[in-house]
Every structure is written in structure tokens, then in C-alpha cells.
Structure 1
Amino acid sequence: MNGSTGPAERIVVLGFGPVAARFVDDLLPHKLAGTIGLTVIGGEVRPAYNRVLVADVATGRTDAASLSLAEPQELAGAGVDLRLGTSAVRVDRSRRRVLLSDGSELGYDRLVFATGSRPAIPVLRGLDFSPLGDPPLPEGVMALRDLDDAARLARVVRTGGRVVVLGGGILGVEAALAIREAGAVATLVHHGPVPLARALDHDGGRVLAAALADAGIEVVPDVRAVGVRVDGGRFSGLDLEGGRSCPGDALVVSVGVRPRTELAEGCGLVVTGGIRVDERLCADTEERVFAIGDCAAVQGRPPSCLIGPGWTQASWLAGHLARLLLSAPSLPGPAARPGLAEPVPEEAAAVIMLKARGVDLAAAGTVSSGPWDPGTQRVSVWADPGQGRYCKLVTEGGVLTGFIAIGMPRTAAELVLLYERGDDLPADRSSLFRLDDAALPASARVPEDSDVLCRCSGATFGEVQRACDSGCSSVDAVGSACRAGTGCGGCRTVIEEMLASAAEAAPA
């Protein structure tokens, strides 16, 4: 045996965010069967919740309870040792021990880093900077990464205050739209020439910027922030190059994240933009230490920090450890190697979908080529800036390799299916541009049961349809049945439409 008086395998999980919650959930059958001991270390006093939707709590779209991803009583009933409000301060890999912030120690047979990421805090006058820590921020400055931030921002939003959002990525744009929709004043400040500059071409970015302005958001592009103004201990404005300042009652910093790797680095693991793991998520040579989610650099690739790939890794690793247990339940000496398992699935190309009422946007792939550029790519563009519509298709050998669709939801839905399936485009590409004509059918292509609907959980159209047909009457019920809609929320509108169709088709 391994020296433990408990189950044959002691698994310790460092971190209890959304990815760790999925990992623990998938391991519960083995915990209930008594084949593993499972300890989870969570730095927050709250159990795991969906951080992606924290902005929705701040702006009143949903409440904190709906973000919950774990039930402590259920975990305790299954025998999971859940330790909230504490953290690991050191890992001793030679002795397979973890030292906790409360002074206690834990032994492990397998250690899983699910430490996630921390918000990147830019170097600005008036802010403390610490690349490996969580520096205190002035009152009114937040990264909108946890429920405490949501509560602070909610107080400003409820009073119709001014909120400055720093960062023109997808989270910054979504935050600005949600804040404005909730009745507060929103200013979006970003360094690039257009918002979402990494995902859109310049013309698409200009159409999006106009749509944001039409939604009542002040967009301040092509500027660098240089300092934060604090009056009376509270944020009062963001200083920009050239002497300009954006006044506000709150500042939301949305300029990216950094993996939390200092604990792994301190115990000798390789860190290269994240904890370096192989294609089986293993970080050491003994198959004792693993990493998943935002902190994991699979084969050295920087983590995408998206919830979907993190959940895929969590489910894969739970299955992998279960296979190891079945092959050698007592695990004498070094970890057993029953033969190489299939590697974790490669991360699919991300599709960006803007979750905002009134602004429809989807984009994916490489869209930098123009219609007249030389090469093998073929580019088609349709634009109607006055109506807030823009579409660009980039193909290679007839297959869609990149696209942008703004203000054209039917076209966007069709392009997402074509892109993810790798299907050829129709010979008449203009037919795709005409899909949003109200006189045409809702879609030229019916999703197949195997098509992925929820890109976070991997739930397919078929799984969601079966959940709707089985009597689910809400998006949350569908999420409980097949996990669809429990991630970023981008698929909730489609699920609502499927629920309505199922209700209409049900016998009276």
C-alpha cells in the first residue's frame, strides 16, 4: 500500500474554481465507491462559482446563487474533505506533502494544480504592481473576477454612477455593455485602434465601435492609460497620455489574466507561461502531479484561460486517474503506468460570441486577409455600416478558415456551424449574407444532433433537445440535465428558443 490508512489513492486538489469543480464532480463516483480520498483546498470562503458571469451579478442580470457550481453539503456527504478559506503555501514533492496556510499538512498520492489565474494589473501611477501576487487596489478599482468585486460594482451601478472600463477585449466590451444596459454611465478605454482588435479586422472593429456608441457607451480608442486618480481614498478618474482624464466612480480593469504558478515554481515544476504539462496533463516524471485549467500550459502552449477547454481537461483527467486506479488500485512505490492513454483532446479553435443584448457579434479564425490580397485564400465581404451590419468570410480551398458577423445573427449562426464542421461554403456566398432577410427561413442549415451547442460544456444540440423533450422547462433545468448553458452563457438564447419550441410541440 502507499502508507495511507485511508483509501488507496489520496488526491489533493489545489484551487476550487469552475475547473476544479468539474474535476471534483467527475471524481465523485469513485469517492462514493471508496476507491479514493479527495481533499480540495479553496482560497475563497465561498464554494466554486462561475466567474465568467460575475459581471451579470454586478449589473443585476442574475444573482450570486445562480452562479454556484458546487454544494458543500453534498460534497461533505460524499466524504470530500473541502477546506475553504485556506490555501497551500508550499509543496514538498519529495515527501508528497502540502503545507497549508493554517499550519496543517496534507499527504497526497496525486496532486492536481487547479490554481487558475489572477487578473493582470497594469503598471499605472497610483496602483501597486505585483506580477506574482494580488496587490490591494484602491476603493472603486476592481478586476471583476469575484463576487466581492461584483458587490462593489453593483453599488455604483444601482446609483447610475460613472464606470470606466479599461480594456477592449471581449470581457471589457461585455462589461461596458452590461453596465450601460443596467443604467450606469460606461466609458470604454482601450489601447488598440478598434475594440476586439485581435479578433476583428479594422472595418469590423469600426462597425462594432459604432454599435457600442449607439448603445450609449463612450468609446476612447488608441490611448494609453498612465495613472489612476484617487481622491479621499477612492477612485475618481483614469489619466491618459496627453493629459486627458476619464472621470468615474469606479474602474473595471479588464486587460487579461496571468496564470497562478508561483506555488508550482516553488516546488521545482517547469513554468513556461503556465505550469508546463504534457499531452496527458502531467507536470512531473512520476505521474504524481498534474495541472488543469488556466494555470496549465499543455505542451508549453500558453493557456487560453477559457472555461470550455478547462472543463474538457478536468473531465479528461478525472477519467485518466480512474483508469490508473483500475489498473493498479494499491499503487505500490512509483505511480503505476498501465499504458499510454489517449491524450487530452486538443483545444478547438475558439469562436468569439458577444453576449450582449442589442449587439450581435460572432468571429473566429484568421481574418486579416483582404479581398485583393495575393495567395490561396478567398475573401468575401458584405457591409452596411449605417445598419450596423458587417460580414467577412475567409476560405482556403472552399473551407471556412475565418469569419466575422456583426449585426447578422442568422448569418452568424450559420457560419459557426460551417466553421466548426469544416464544411464547404455554398457556391453562391451571397446566400449567406441574405440569411438575415426577415422574409427567408430562420436558417438554411439545420443543426445536427452531434453539433456542439454549448462550447463551454461540450453539450450537443441532440443532448439539449432530449433535455427539452424530457420535461425541462428552464435553462437552469437543461443545465442540470446536460450542463449546457452553465458556462459563459452565450448559448442560453438558443436553449430558450428550443425550450419554447418543445413547449409548443408538447401535447395539450
Structure 2
Amino acid sequence: MGDRLLVVGFGPVAVRLVDELLPEVAAGRLRVTVVGAEARPGYNRVLVGEYAVGRTDHEALELVDEPAWRGAGVELILGAPVTWVDRSARVAHLAPGSPVEEVGYDALVLAVGARANVPVLRGINPDPAAVAHLPRGVTVLRTPADGDQLRAVVARRGRVVVLGGGVLGLELALAAHEQGCDVTVVHHRPWLLTRSADRAAGAMLEAVLARAGVHVVADAIAREVVLHEGGDFAGLRLADGQLLAGDLLILACGTTPRTGVAAGAGLRVDRGILVNHDLEADTEGRVFAIGDCAEVLCADPTCTVCPPRRGRGPAGLIGPGWQQAQWLAARIRRELDSDPEPMEPLPSIESDVIRLKAHSVEFAAAGEIDGEPWESPCGRSVALWADAAAGSLAKLVLRDDRLVGFIALGLPRTAAELGLRYGDGAEVPADLSVLLRLDGPDAVDPGSPSPTATLCRCAGVPAEDVTAAIEDGCRSVAEIGAATRAGTGCGGCRPVLQQLLDRDGAVAH
């Protein structure tokens, strides 16, 4: 493969890959060049929303110790978008005005992520390349600079309109509301969190948000962004003529993998950049793709790792991307060692736990969530409990006494326990009410997670590592993160980490 590795993209997944390879770079066994389109080093994009509402600062977003990386020998080229790749010459060409015009490579990793979707609305330009030129007061909230717009509105307790009722949209809406803003959420489907909740859970979530003071307009079609005479955002007009006035419009309409550079290089693309289960985008094993831009697709009907001819599209989650980065780094190290032994295949991640990270609303879901209690398709059983007055709901989907999917609303400890059992594949208690009572006054501890249960799915941290960190003196979630990486990705596992701290008698958050 050679010793010149070029990484295109500088998001959290690229950072994890280079972090894993730093010892090889420092030892002179590998030369790594990272090319990033943004002028700053890689940062945790998942936490931009937290920054935007003032709950964290710039330092908390940082992922790269730039002096340490450069000292180890990593070459960083920032503010330099790659325009095209000449695979025959093994050269990546950079945009005019970049510090260099081209970079050669022996192996290429595309970690270019995804771009925010800009809907087709009167009053704005839906061209993806025009995101930086959206009207003042309209943002997709992908960068710290975008976050500064919301930060300014939050500071004066302004009015925020969020277009999109998915996880990101609701997290931002709740965070802004909790900071004192007047918030309206517009969603084009009949119920919120359409991909992660069924109709009952989505409807109850809407009621919970309404009680909390967040206005929701569901099953609505947005038509026009209305601007003041000076060009600033004034309001969002819906198809029925209703005008939702505001100081800021957040477009939380999902993302699309970046495939342009790969397509221009003659690589196959579909929803993302097509790779096999070895993350190879070409037939020579010199070009790889990881993270939100990568779509795993294996056409080999005899393959025992990938479902034949069925792609695993980009998950849009940081955990699967980090896992790909860690696996690819291990492969690169093996090739540097000329190790002929085959590697264990990259594990298949069909789904992951989705958590709504908000102070006032607790929601988590994973796996198979369809079906009703009076149905038992394919040997499954469904248990459902709901309390509309309390805004609480739990739905468990079981197969052979094992949890294959769940929804939990308003039940933080139950959600944490279900997340553990879903990830571990452990059997659930014969009396399912034990799980519900975790959030009641007569809380019953169902037992500690097994040592091998994955607590932090982003960083792949098992329970035994977290337990060891607590035994070694960690007394807060932040200290556990510094010691194990747990909780440093999306932050969804932090309630579970705090639960273990509470069991151990450490109460600091």
C-alpha cells in the first residue's frame, strides 16, 4: 500500500482515524496528510448545538491537539477543498487559493461526511453550494459559525423557528426553549421523530413538548421564507397561508452524503460512496471511505458479513464512523507490519440507539419498533405501557425473550437500562414491570450490566472499562470520558454513565 496516506476530510471520524495512527506516524513508519475544507482543525460537530445555546464553549468542541499532531509528523492542510482526484496518477487536486495545488498519495481515505439539506423554498437558494449564502437569520447549524447565529438569538431570548421534527431539530428546539426562547417546530409528517417513533409515541411526544411550551405544527408543508426589507429572516410561510414569525430559522431537514469527489474520480456512488465490507471504494484496495459519506454494499452472495446486494447506508451517527475508523487503522497497521493474517471483519451495525438529548424531555429508541401488543408477527411479542398524564411511554419488542427494539419516553432510567440490554443482547426480566419501576419511588435495581456490554456505542467502550475507571477514582462523567472516551461522542450514554456513578456512590455530574 505504501507509506503515504492522504485523508480527505477533517471531521470527527477522520480525527479518530489519525489518532489511532499517531504512533506509526511518530515512529516514521507512516506519512499522513490531512486535507480539510474548513480553516480550523477537526471538531465535534455533534456538540455544535450545545455550543449554539451557550451550554458549552469552543474548547469543548476541540478534538485535535494541533501542535502534538504536527510534532508527531502529521501534515495538516486547512481551508483547502479537494476538487478532484486523479486515481491513475494518485494525486488529489485542491481548489485554487489553497496552500498547495496537489497532494500525492499511496492510499486515500475519503472522510468527507455529509452536507445539510436545504429545502426548496421561495426566498432561499436550495443549491447545496450556496449554504454559506443563506439569508441572514437562516442557518443549517453545522459549524460553530452557524452556532453563533443561534447563540445571539438565545442571548436576547428571541423567537426561533425550527423546520424539521427529527432528532436534531427537536434537540435544538428544546435546548433553545430551555434557554428562554419562544420556539416553534414545523414537521412535514403527521408525528414527530417519524423514523424513530411510532404514531403513538410521536403523538405523546408532541403533547409533552406542548406542555413544556414548545409549539409544534405537524403535517405541515413549508412554502416560503419571508424576509424583512433589509434581507433578514422575518418568518416562515406554510402552504395553508399561516406565517410563523421569528428571528431565526433553523433548517433541520437531514443530510446528504458528499459523493462529488468520489464520483469525479470514477468511483461508484449511490446514497453514499459505495464500499465493500473492507471499506474499499476501488478494486485495488487503495481508496477507502468511512463515516457519513460511506455506504457499505457487498454484492457477493456467499459473504457472511454483509447482506447480499443490500446496502448499509450511512448511519448519520458518530459511533459507526468511529468504529470504521478504528477498524481501518488496525488494517493499515497490519499492512505496515506485512501481517498476512486476515482481520476480523468489520462488525455490521444495522441500527443504533437513538437518544433525544434534552434536559426537559427524555426519549430513546432502537431497533424494531413496529407492531402492537395484540399482534405477534414472526414470533415477536410487544409490550406497551403509557401514562398520558405523566407523558411517559415504554414499548418493548421481544423475540425469544430478548429485546430487539424499544421506545422509551419520559423514563430516563428505564431508557438507560433498555439501551444496555438492547446492546448486550441479554434477556429481559420475566416481570417487565421491574424495568418500569426504575423510574418510580419503589425503584428496583435489575442488576449491573454484564462486563462486556457496550455502554458507549460511539467509542465502543464496554461496561468493564467504565467500572474500572470508577474504581480507579473517576467521580464524574467528564472524568470517565477523559479516561475511557465514553460519553465523548454524541453524549447519549451519559445518563447510563451517571447511573453507574450513582450506584457506586459518586454523585458529581
TM-score (norm 1): 0.92
* Match 2:148 to one of 148, 151, 175: 151
**Structure 2 matches for 1:453-468, cutoff 5 A?**
453-468=455-470
Secondary structure at 1:387's aligned position in 2? Answer: coil
Matching of residue 429 in structure 1 with residue 432 in structure 2: yes
Q: Tell me the distance in 2 between the aligned counterparts of 1:303 and 1:229.
A: 34
Q: Which residue of 2 aligns with 1:140?
A: 137
Q: CA shift at 1:502, angstroms?
A: 5.3
* Match 1:214 to one of 192, 211, 216: 211
Q: Tell me the distance in 2 between the aligned counterparts of 1:388 and 1:467.
A: 35
Q: Tell me the distance in 2 between the aligned counterparts of 1:81 and 1:461.
A: 36
Q: Which residue of 2 aligns with 1:171?
A: 168
**Structure 2 matches for 1:83-162, cutoff 5 A?**
83-101=77-95, 102=98, 104-131=101-128, 134=131, 136-162=133-159
Q: CA shift at 1:18, angstroms?
A: 0.3
* Match 1:401 to one of 398, 401, 404: 404
CA 1:340–1:133 in 2, change beyond 3 Å: closer, same or farther?
A: farther
**Structure 2 matches for 1:341-490, cutoff 5 A?**
341-373=343-375, 375=377, 376-441=379-444, 443-490=445-492
Structure 1 stretches of 4+ moved >6 Å: none
Q: Tell me the distance in 2 between the aligned counterparts of 1:272 and 1:71.
A: 35
Q: CA shift at 1:430, angstroms?
A: 3.2
Secondary structure at 2:439's aligned position in 1? Answer: coil
Q: Tell me the distance in 2 between the aligned counterparts of 1:400 and 1:470.
A: 32
Matching of residue 13 in structure 1 with residue 7 in structure 2: yes
CA contact (8 A) 2:208 2:391 kept: yes
**Structure 2 matches for 1:16-415, cutoff 5 A?**
16-101=10-95, 102=98, 104-131=101-128, 134=131, 136-231=133-228, 232-299=230-297, 300-327=311-338, 338=340, 340-373=342-375, 375=377, 376-415=379-418
Q: CA shift at 1:99, angstroms?
A: 1.1
CA contact (8 A) 2:277 2:345 kept: yes
Q: 1:96-129: per-residue Cα shift (whole Å, max 9, x none)?
A: 0111122521110000000011101111111112
Q: Tell me the distance in 2 between the aligned counterparts of 1:431 and 1:472.
A: 29
Amino acid at match of 1:26: E
Q: Which residue of 2 aligns with 1:332?
A: none
CA contact (8 A) 2:158 2:247 kept: yes
TM-score (norm 2): 0.92
Unmatched segments (≥5 aa) in structure 1? 3-7, 329-337
Q: CA shift at 1:498, angstroms?
A: 4.1
Q: Tell me the distance in 2 between the aligned counterparts of 1:373 and 1:67.
A: 46
Q: CA shift at 1:133, angstroms?
A: 6.5
Q: Tell me the distance in 2 between the aligned counterparts of 1:71 and 1:322.
A: 22
Q: Tell me the distance in 2 between the aligned counterparts of 1:294 and 1:399.
A: 30
Secondary structure at 2:359's aligned position in 1? Answer: coil
Q: Tell me the distance in 1 between the aligned counterparts of 2:327 and 2:376.
A: 42
CA contact (8 A) 1:274 1:296 kept: yes
Q: CA shift at 1:414, angstroms?
A: 2.4
Amino acid at match of 1:461: A
CA 1:66–1:31 in 2, change beyond 3 Å: closer, same or farther?
A: same
CA 1:86–1:106 in 2, change beyond 3 Å: closer, same or farther?
A: same
CA contact (8 A) 1:132 1:262 kept: no
CA contact (8 A) 1:128 1:135 kept: no
Amino acid at match of 2:78: L
Identity over aligned pairs, percent: 49
- Give the number of equivalent residue pairs: 489
Q: 1:463-482: per-residue Cα shift (whole Å, max 9, x none)?
A: 12222332334433322221
Q: CA shift at 1:374, angstroms?
A: 5.4
Secondary structure at 1:341's aligned position in 2? Answer: coil
Amino acid at match of 2:434: S
Q: 1:144-169: per-residue Cα shift (whole Å, max 9, x none)?
A: 11100111110011101000011111
Unmatched segments (≥5 aa) in structure 2? 298-310
Q: Which residue of 1 aligns with 2:302?
A: none
CA RMSD, 1 decimal: 1.9
Secondary structure at 2:127's aligned position in 1? Answer: coil
CA 1:494–1:180 in 2, change beyond 3 Å: closer, same or farther?
A: same
Q: CA shift at 1:379, angstroms?
A: 1.7
Amino acid at match of 1:254: A
Q: Tell me the distance in 1 between the aligned counterparts of 2:207 and 2:500.
A: 32
Amino acid at match of 1:395: L
Q: CA shift at 1:61, angstroms?
A: 1.0
CA 1:471–1:141 in 2, change beyond 3 Å: closer, same or farther?
A: same
Q: 1:358-386: per-residue Cα shift (whole Å, max 9, x none)?
A: 21111112222112235332222111101
Q: Tell me the distance in 2 between the aligned counterparts of 1:202 and 1:426.
A: 27
Q: CA shift at 1:343, angstroms?
A: 2.3
Amino acid at match of 2:442: A
Mean CA deviation greater in 91-100 or 202-211: 202-211
Mean CA deviation greater in 478-487 or 288-297: 478-487
Q: Tell me the distance in 2 between the aligned counterparts of 1:31 and 1:395.
A: 47
Q: 1:430-455: per-residue Cα shift (whole Å, max 9, x none)?
A: 333333221233x2121122211112
Q: CA shift at 1:219, angstroms?
A: 0.8
Mean CA deviation greater in 422-431 or 32-41: 422-431
Q: Tell me the distance in 2 between the aligned counterparts of 1:293 and 1:242.
A: 39
CA contact (8 A) 1:138 1:233 kept: yes
Q: Tell me the distance in 2 between the aligned counterparts of 1:418 and 1:451.
A: 8
Q: CA shift at 1:503, angstroms?
A: 6.6
